[in-house]
């Protein structure tokens, strides 16, 4: 993280998990979105979908005790529908961290999130990741089960209502802690 380059955070996950909502909740800049009406059976879940990206930005101030200072963050939301997945690779380029959003109340969302977790782990194996779970009825009781279903460690799961600024901010702070830890390690390894 440098003063000049904003930290690049990608927001991914399956159709309808709340990616556009998450970007809009956090962004202090006007959000650029690419919503189009859905034309298939997914209209039962919602009527529009992201076809290219969402872009927003904000100035983050660290909570007490954070290892990072105030800086700019750029947010890049991906499409969720598989047919637009060619955008994932483009948006993932040079990202500093990413979140995978999943809707725990829909089994299709969990199954698709598992594939997305695997695809992004392949694309960016060393980039810090957080899995944000919306509509999670029983976080304490189903944590291990959901982690196994998603193919991710339990520690990377965090409940998050993407409509809620406090939830979204808390998640972003945890991810930025991870970004900072990794950048500290890289500096130590540089001769
Ligand atoms: N009740 C409830 N609604 C939620 C929650 N999380 C997201 N939503 C709603 O679910 C919808 C998610 O829509 P989007 O933000 O467009 O989802 P998306 O992931 O960007 O969808 P695509 O771009 O089409 O893949 C919005 O209407 C949110 O308000 C939650 O935790 N509780
Ligand atoms: Mg969207």
Ligand 1 neighbourhood includes 36 CB (under 6 angstroms): no
What distance in angstroms lies between residue 130's CA and the mean position of ligand 1's atoms? 18
Q: For a substitution probing ligand 1, which of 162, 167, 168 has the most ligand atoms within 8 Å of its CB?
A: 162
Residue 13 Cα: closest atom of ligand 1: 19
pLDDT of residue 191: 63
| Domain layout of the chain by residue ranges | 7-189
Q: For the chain, give the mean pLDDT.
A: 93
pLDDT in tens, 54-66: 999 999 999 999 9
Out of 4-18, 36-50, 57-71, least confident range: 36-50
What is the sign, positive or negative, of the torsion defined by CA atoms of 110, 114, 77, 97? positive
User: For residue 48, which atom of ligand 1 is closest to its CA?
Assistant: 24
DSSP secondary structure letter of residue 143:
H
Question: What is the chain's alpha carbon radius of gyration, rounded to the nearest angstrom?
Answer: 16
Which pLDDT value is given to residue 110?
A: 97
Residue scoring higher pLDDT (191 or 123): 123
Per-residue pLDDT band for 3 (boundaries 50, 70, 90) equals low
Is residue 41's pLDDT more than 80?
no
Q: Which two tokens stand for residue 53?
A: 């990206």
Crossing angle of helices 139-150 and 107-123, in 10° steps, is: 50
Kindly state if the Cβ of 134 falls inside 6 Å of ligand 1: yes
- Closest to 128 (Cα-Cα) out of 2, 27, 9: 9
91 CA to centre of ligand 2 in angstroms: 14
Structure token digits, residue 119: 């695809």
Q: Is 3.40.50.880 the CATH number for 7-189?
A: no
Question: pTM of this prediction?
Answer: 0.95
CA–centroid distance, 107 to ligand 1, in Å, is 15
Segment 95-116, tens digit of pLDDT: 999 999 999 999 999 999 999 9
d(CA 102, ligand 1 centre) in Å? 10
pLDDT at 190: 65
Contacts of 65 (CB under 8 A, 6+ apart): none
């Amino acid at each position: 993280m440098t003063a000049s380059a904003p930290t690049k955070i990608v927001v991914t996950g399956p159709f309808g998990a709340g990616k556009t909502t998450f970007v809009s909740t956090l962004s202090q800049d006007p959000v650029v979105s690419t919503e189009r009406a859905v034309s298939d059976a997914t209209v039962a879940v919602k009527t529009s979908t992201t076809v290219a990206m969402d872009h927003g930005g904000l100035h983050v101030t660290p909570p007490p005790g954070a290892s990072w200072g105030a800086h700019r963050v750029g947010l890049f939301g991906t499409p969720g529908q598989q047919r637009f997945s060619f955008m994932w690779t483009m948006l993932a380029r040079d990202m500093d961290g990413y979140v995978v959003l999943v809707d725990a109340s829909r089994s299709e969302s969990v199954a698709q999130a598992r594939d997305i977790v695997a695809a992004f782990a392949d694309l960016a194996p060393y980039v810090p990741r957080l899995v944000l779970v919306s509509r999670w009825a029983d976080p304490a009781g189903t944590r291990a089960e959901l982690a196994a279903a998603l193919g991710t460690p339990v520690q990377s799961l965090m409940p998050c209502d993407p409509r809620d600024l406090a939830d979204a901010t808390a998640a972003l702070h945890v991810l930025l802690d991870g970004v900072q830890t990794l950048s500290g390690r890289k500096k130590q390894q540089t001769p």
